Amino acid sequence: MRVLITGGAGFLGSHLADRLLAEGHSVIAMDNLITGSTDNIQHLIGRADFTFIRHDVTNYIYVSGQLDAVLHFASPASPVDYLKYPIQTLKVGALGTHNALGLALAKRARFLLASTSEVYGDPLVHPQREDYHGNVNTIGPRGVYDEAKRFAEALTMAYHRSHGLDTRIVRIFNTYGERMRLDDGRVVPNFIGQALRGEPLTVHGDGSQTRSFCYVSDLIEGIYRLLMLPPSEDASLPINLGNPLEMSILDLAKIINEMTGNPSGITFRRMDRIEGDPQRRQPDITRAQALLGYQPTVSLQEGLARTIAYFRSRVSVTSPSCHA
């Protein structure tokens, strides 16, 4: 296949490019580099089966020749990024999705949308199933990301129903691994950065809030299986991907301190809960198991070991604030 990945120089987009190329497909990565980096795809530059185009997908997208799939991964994805770029986040979820869908329709290409567990908001149902409609504050600070993705899902389904476009929607739960930015504000790189600098790990509140952490290769495996699934109504409906192993932020901090040999311990920052920040998050992956035969295989310890090794040469002297 010939595949376009919007957000192709980002954390997930670059790993997806690696996987598609390894499977024999050719890849066009498109990114405006607002949060992505060419460092993530530097090892691919010069390959005959890989092309990079610097472009903002909120503007009209032109790609010459045939396309077999459009994978829409362009968007700021961490709280630090989408709080810094709220309007850009909304535009890429709305205009960017519209442009990417229009391109897929023109090329008669399969379309896969990278959505998020944030569409569930601060969930009142646990674990979160795809038929749960969420608890989202549309005007809260996190609403710019939540609503951008919820609109993107609605637009994707509208193209599927109105134009017969072959579409897929993946709701991505917390994922970590190599090529995350140390300063992107998410809890895994923040904790690892603090630990490698020998600083106490900063835990907000009492650390009882939970997340379910999926190593990047496990997520990419699920996305690839979804992309390759034959067209069906089941395939077009949203599907959760992630690791259902739930753990508290405090337990994660203890594990990272132990794995890095950090003697500085943990410091608790008493603060009001961040508006809209989910207290618990855990994917129900029953649909993915049934439809894709999907099951994460990389343990937290193994995934963290690889991620820690990646970050050892990238620690900085400043400590970013932490968001989950």
Q: What is the mean pLDDT of residues 202-228?
A: 95
Segment 39-55, tens digit of pLDDT: 999 999 999 999 999 99
Q: How many domains does the chain have?
A: 2
Show which residues are catalytic: 145
Residue that is written with structure tokens 């009001």 in the block: 272
Q: Which amino acid makes up residue 68?
A: D
Where would I find the H helices in the chain?
A: 11-22, 79-84, 86-91, 97-107, 143-163, 187-196, 216-228, 233-236, 249-260, 286-292, 300-311
Same domain for 219 and 203:
no
Whether residue 272 is predicted with pLDDT greater than 60 in this model: the reply is: no
Spatial separation of the C-alpha atoms in residues 226 and 235, rounded to whole Å = 7
Domain assignment of residue 316, yes or no: no
Same domain for 219 and 274:
no
Same domain for 187 and 45:
no
Whether residue 271 is predicted with pLDDT greater than 70 in this model: the reply is: no
* Average pLDDT value for the chain: 94
Domain assignment of residue 287, yes or no: no
Return the pLDDT at 269: 87
Same domain for 270 and 148:
no
Cα separations in angstroms, 262 against 8, 32, 206, 219, 254: 34, 37, 20, 29, 10
The residue among 139, 178, 191, 245 whose CA lies nearest residue 40 is 178
DSSP 3-state of 312: coil
Residue that is written with structure tokens 């499977």 in the block: 23
Q: What are phi and psi for residue 246, nearest 5 degrees?
A: -90, 140
CATH of the domain at 165: 3.40.50.720
Spatial separation of the C-alpha atoms in residues 227 and 225, rounded to whole Å = 5
Segment 133-163, tens digit of pLDDT: 999 999 999 999 999 999 999 999 999 999 9
**Structural domain span for residue 203:** 177-212+245-282+298-311
> Is the CB of residue 203 less than 8 Å from the CB of residue 266?
yes
User: What single DSSP character describes residue 295?
Assistant: -
Segment 69-111, tens digit of pLDDT: 999 999 999 989 999 999 999 999 999 999 999 999 999 999 9
